[in-house]
Amino acid sequence: MSSTTPSPGRPSALDPAIAGRLKRTPDGLVAAIAQQYDTGEVLMLGWMDDEALHRTLTTGRCTYWSRSRREYWVKGDTSGHVQHVKSVSLDCDGDTVLVRVDQVGAACHTGDRTCFDAGRLDPGAPAPAGH
């Protein structure tokens, strides 16, 4: 299920009506936010191209494009921490998708439930010395 290059500019099986609504980065990607469907907990941010979005919509499992590994990955295939898709929505600008999922296990590669519990940034907090 992997590829060495994302599919921008190449034919994709993604519905053309959906593809036409996407506003992609210069490298053909859109941000994809994974959210726990029943609690609203924000779990992680990944990247999708047209093919990854197509796979997500048709398989019911989140597929992302790894910018560092330059390949597709299905959340949970190696870790067992699967994301079962409940719904997918496009934001008003067409540059971000919200994937509401039922997360099994940790969403973060560190083993944490969410990628957003590493440290809160409080507004108005003093900046670290030297900044």
Binding site members for Zn(2+): 92, 108, 115
Residues making up the binding site for Mg(2+): 91, 93, 95
Residue in the structure block whose two tokens are 């994302």 = 6
C-beta of residue 97 within 8 angstroms of C-beta of residue 29: no
Coil, strand or helix at 51: helix
Q: Name the one residue in this structure whose structure tokens are 């191209």.
A: 49
Which residues sit in the known binding site?
A: 91-93, 95, 108, 115
Q: Tell me what percent of the chain is helix, strand and coil, each rounded to the nearest 5.
A: 10, 30, 60
